[in-house]
Structure 1
């Protein structure tokens, strides 16, 4: 919630959750004696934690609700301020149907196509390393397929085997080093967070002098949490965000100001270049969404047309059908394109066999398709069918109770079913690129509803916001569930247990998020210096755009030109995926995020991305300590922000004021 209200970026924190779960049980074992905590149980810990962490974004608390609460005008039936009870009901209504819908997609994208799901894959690697299942020096684990690790489970047995060959001592020392690093980073980040409370000026350090800082908003927020986020994002994404910041705040903002298109001060969302830039970033996001989702829709239909099975492989490659690794064992590499080949897949960390979903079931069995979970660990079709029907009905009823006649019943029902269709594309994009294009999905939903809801309807903007929120929630939670199912598949966790863990986490997260949102918005000014809610402005501007509310001067021309440019770059990116040229082609979503966020957030993340590049490429160090470093930075600020919230609520003064 804290980071989402600031920049709109929310992490599921799967890897930090795995680290914390492992450390907690390690400490409990030292105090209380042997406690069973296997990699399978760690998977369940991070499943529940991740499903909770995604709720501020999935339930719209960092974008849609601030737009409704603070940015809707009386002519648009706003502002709409929901009480705590309705906030809880709203979030519960959105938190289930995406989780249930992800289940039937699992066999296609995880078992048959073996899409990589890089974050889920990396989490499995981290868990395997933490539990002593990997030799970090070689980057290989002892896992050889579904449930093989679970079958050998038993912490005593594992430690005995490790100790026999000296690995137990080595692993224990590695664990102690990682814990020390985590605690040091946590402490440093926490201390800096407290310092920024008493000295708010530390959040805005001038980069190019005081004039550039005060007039053009070129400042740096040296938040270590943002550095940690940049480490997780990686150098390519953060550099694309930096490109967006340079173009938006270094070129477009001065041009719009000097030409009189945005005459107000730069930081004014309504008439300043800050608001003018948002329209350009919106056009880029929409172009990226249309091209990438259209491409994914084409790929999703290929398996259902037998005629494509005879198409030469070079044509399939042109359509983007590249090989996806078969995970007969886990590598510690987190690079989505880092695969190795071997004459025998069991002898390599990652097999380079072409997992073609067009192959028949018999041919797949002959080629050694991975075993799936036992039948008693699967989620039954009956449970999925009943759960999907009930969750959809529950969502529709909750939204109707919250908004009444302001949002027509047919609009909510249409939004839910549109969310299910778009979730398929989101899951596939996440599996291939580690990017769930929920922002683009929500914008497409808003565009669709602008076509079916009359502009004469006074609630058209509100309906547009609700429809987009429903679509985003479904795609986001389906993707999060699939990442967890990928992790569980690699480590032998039961899909049924993960499903119920996701449901439990989503329920708790939905309720807790409503309380935390109410706390933050009652203590801090929103929008304000600390919580600028940039995604709230993106949501409301998109709704006004597609419902015919008009654009600022020259924004239309620049938006169209930018959309055409990034439609072309997105098309090129889809065709170069997996090649060395792919990171050099700017990603539309990353560039757009760099545009609508002020430079202070982007610069800190870029530092993190470059740190990750230096760590891996120049120094050649292992990835696990890097994950620990980033986790400590993020967790330190996240936890201490609660202390800052308490101090703000009781009126502890800022020394800079």
Structure 2
């Protein structure tokens, strides 16, 4: 969950399993067929001539012509993409500002894109006005555009580095020279910043698309799984299943939206409503153990793997169930008794910095692991390209395996529409020059030579991240961003706005690395659906441009309508405080930590590394029983209430799979998407009501018996 949780990892595990299952079935069938051959030549012929037709995806679409790349970019596709981008940006923003756990929404984007354009084309077909049928290539364009747009809500740092620059977050920290390290949110500079940093990653790896997709055959599990989904939608049986999924999504979307509306009536104050329901009693409620009836996180729990949800709950139990009550007993010894509960010199300091230690330990371990695997795999790829054909025992060179029909068809079309190299190189240089000139005017401490150095190394880091993501589906964008915080923050220094410089550099690096790996994922999806690389690139550019406008506007709506960034509020934005404190640590050191906090940080940093190492022990399938440190770290600061919601979602899915596994696997993502989308969309009218100063009429609170007696006595007539 680092990276796109930071964002895509929870559901990517499920998608990867599905890809490996399908791929494994194909490999086994081919292996059996090839084993029946009598020699190398017979083996190659057998692979070419006896390929099972039921295993070939492209033979199903043989009768359907592939439209040229210009016709894949339709007006209706971008109209649907625009409205879906708003929906998904709201959802991602809400998740960003609550817990930071963001599941992969690719499936939902592909499914909703299919539904809306299908309704559009069916209506036009009945009137005789339909000129162009709906194709899987157009479906891929919509999914790419929506994911690129909503991805800006994550990589834009609205819940992390960008909001961390604000006065609101700075007031919760202890730092010197705080005034020169503050940049409060404003629509103008946020849009400008995103426009000058978000496009660079798109140009950085375009020249390497053939190497990554065709030569090295990187699987990109999320991109591959999305392609399988879109391909299945456009077969007759797949379309029937898609209709069932959309119908179910619509039902749970309506339920979730109306449930959010119903809950609103009981939230006259921040301490009122179902979100403050003491499910397990008032004592447990004090330590944030309660079910808050959030449809969003029940849906997230249905999408995330069981291990992620259990890890989050375990982290909440260790921290809020054991550690914080014990540390609170040291009040007056380890930290001053008079200090406020939200001060980093008190219990809050332990919560924030131990969480940071676990996040850094997990991030560092996975960074080293992925870089090691990437280096080894890359070296093997290069070596295999330079080597000659294999030689058999009798000294004869063996023939290369014949390409399957699907691979031939996909490779032919993938190489047909070349993206001009001058466009890629020229685009990167042009955007970099604009960025180097512009960014120092937005962030004064961020000098032009910092940005130049970042852009010199950015393509290398983008390649490493995209290659590692293709192998493992694990994006390390946020890890590269954290490295930039420490490097450039320390370079700028405490007396020259180092905190602000570090956070801004984090945004620059994170945007490049994140968008580059996302684009390569989309190229893989396009390769498997026969969508042109040109249409993929244009769709990604348009989606990114949409995101640079939509995401700041959505954040601005949240910023004006709700109290963001406050511990205990509806939108605490936990990672904003975490990122700012990382920047402070990088610039000022560890002097402000409470007593024994640094020792505990070392312990949990080492524990995160050790737990990850145990998870990766070869030859022992114990990873499914070992928790994920990154997931455990999140409730250390926030509390376990959302973990209970997610575990409820897991429980629902678990029971459903026990009763009808096939239906649960086919329809579960649709139910989860409906719950997430409905609750997310309710945020829009809720924000409008808040801006219009319309207050809910009822406050639902829960009191102990003794407190209730005192309240009754106070209110009773004398």
Q: TM-score, normalised by structure 2?
A: 0.74
What is the distance in 1 between the residues matched to 2:476 and 2:613?
A: 15
- Aligned residue in 2 for 1:124: 227
**Map of 2:628 onto structure 1:** 587
The partner residue of 2:119 within 15, 27, 35 is 27
> Are positions 1:474 and 2:512 aligned together?
yes
- Structure 1 residues 178 and 296, CA, compared in 2 at 3 Å: closer, same or farther? closer
1:471-620 alignment, distance < 5 Å: 471-528=509-566, 529-550=569-590, 551-576=593-618, 580-616=621-657, 619-620=660-661
Equivalent position to 1:211, from 283, 288, 293: 283
Q: Report SS of the residue matched to 1:360.
A: helix
Q: Cα gap change, 1:217/1:621 in structure 2, threshold over 3 Å: closer, same or farther?
A: same
Aligned-pair distance for 1:644? 0.8
Counterpart position of 1:338: none
Structure 1 residue 530: Cα displacement: 1.6
1:647 corresponds to = 689
SS in 2 for 1:120: helix
Tell which deviates more after alignment, 561-570 or 273-282: 273-282
Matches of residues 422-433 of structure 1 in structure 2 within 5 Å? 422-433=461-472
Measure, in 1, the Cα distance between the counterparts of 2:614 and 2:209. 29
- Structure 1 unaligned segments of length 5 or more: list them: 133-161, 310-355
Kindly state the Cα deviation for residue 418 of structure 1 after the two structures are TM-superposed. Answer: 4.5
Q: Distance in 1 between matches of 2:207 and 2:518?
A: 14
Q: Give the drift of 1:95.
A: 0.9
Q: Map residues 154-165 of structure 1 onto 2, 5 A cutoff.
A: 162=236
When residues 78 and 378 of structure 1 are mapped into structure 2, their CA distance, relative to the original with a 3 A threshold, is same
What is the CA deviation profile of residues 493-521 of structure 1, one whole-angstrom value per residue up to 9, with x for unaligned ones?
A: 11121111111101111112122222221
Is the contact made by 1:97 and 1:388 (CA closer than 8 Å) also made in structure 2? Answer: yes
Deviations 1:24-77 (A, max 9, x none): 122112211044111111010000000011111111122122211122368221
- The aligned counterpart of 2:499 is 461
Mapped pair 1:237 → 2:308:
yes
TM-superposed CA distance for 1:274, in Å, is 4.0
Shift in CA distance, 207/555, structure 1 to aligned 2, threshold 3 Å: farther
Task: Report which of the two structures shows the higher radius of gyration computed on alpha carbons.
Answer: 2
Aligned length: 568
Tell me, in whole angstroms, the C-alpha distance in 2 between the residues paired with 1:229 and 1:444.
29
Q: Does residue 1:367 correspond to 2:401, yes or no?
A: yes
Inter-partner Cα distance in structure 2 for 1:195 and 1:576: 51
The corresponding residue for 1:285 is 359
How far off its partner does 1:216 sit?
A: 1.6
C-alpha displacement of 1:489:
1.6
* Aligned CA distance change for structure 1 residues 104 and 248 (closer, same or farther; 3 Å): farther
Report the CA distance shift for 1:557/1:297 in structure 2 as closer, same or farther (over 3 A). same
Pick closer, same or farther for the CA change 1:470–1:32 going to 2, 3 Å: same
How far off its partner does 1:549 sit?
4.5
The alignment status of 1:409 with 2:448, answered yes or no, reads: yes
- Structure-2 change in CA distance of 1:75 and 1:368 (3 Å): farther
Map of 1:280-359 to 2, 5 A cutoff? 280-302=354-376, 358-359=383-384
Question: In structure 1, what is the Cα distance between the partners aligned to 2:463 and 2:637?
Answer: 28
Q: Distance in 2 between matches of 1:210 and 1:508?
A: 45
**Preserved CA contact (<8 Å) 2:485 2:506:** yes
Q: 1:615 to 1:480 in 2, by over 3 A?
A: farther
Alpha-carbon RMSD: 2.6
State the Cα distance separating 1:429 from its structure 2 match: 4.0
1:238-283 CA-to-partner distances (Å, cap 9, x unmatched) read 2222222222222222222122246579962534534422211211
Distance in 2 (alpha carbons) for counterparts of 1:194 and 1:398? 43
| Structure 1 stretch displaced more, 612-621 or 433-442 | 612-621
Question: 2:293 and 2:208 mapped to 1: Cα distance?
Answer: 41
CA separation of 1:368/1:104 partners in 2, compared to 1, >3 Å: closer, same or farther? farther
Q: What do the CA deviations read for 1:146-180 (whole angstroms, capped 9, x no partner)?
A: xxxxxxxxxxxxxxxx5xxxx5xxx5653442222
Q: Work out whether residues 442 and 468 of structure 1, in 8 Å CA contact, stay in contact via their aligned partners in 2.
A: yes
CA contact (8 A) 1:43 1:488 kept: yes
Change in Cα spacing, 1:485 to 1:196, as seen in structure 2 (3 Å) is farther
Which secondary structure does the structure 2 equivalent of 1:189 belong to? helix
Which of 155, 165, 169 in structure 2 is aligned with 1:71? 169
Measure, in 2, the Cα distance between the counterparts of 1:612 and 1:114. Answer: 34
**Residue 655 to residue 219, structure 1, CA distance change in 2 (3 Å):** farther
Matched with 1:192 is 259
Cα gap change, 1:253 to 1:430, in 2 (>3 Å): farther
* Counterpart-to-counterpart distance in 2, 1:230 and 1:100: 35
Equivalent-residue separation in structure 1 for 2:329 and 2:216 (angstroms): 53
Alignment check: 8 A CA contact 1:446 1:464 kept: yes
Cα distance between partner residues in 1 of 2:484 and 2:548: 23
Equivalent in the alignment of 1:325: none
The whole-number CA distance in structure 1 between the counterparts of 2:646 and 2:341 is 21
Q: Name the structure 2 match of 1:57.
A: 154
Q: Which of the residues 673, 686, 695 maps onto 1:631?
A: 673
* CA displacement, residues 517-547 of structure 1 (integer Å, 9 cap, x when unaligned): 2222122112241211101011111111122
| Runs (5+) with no aligned partner, structure 2 | 1-92, 268-272, 391-398, 700-718
Give the TM-score normalised by structure 1: 0.80
CA 1:11–1:377 in structure 2 vs 1: closer, same or farther (change >3 Å)?
Answer: farther
User: Counterparts of 1:6-21 in structure 2 under 5 Å?
Assistant: 6-11=98-103, 13-21=105-113
Q: Distance in 2 between matches of 1:242 and 1:43?
A: 36
Conservation of the 8 A alpha-carbon contact between 2:257 and 2:681:
yes
Distance 1:125 1:50 in 2: 17
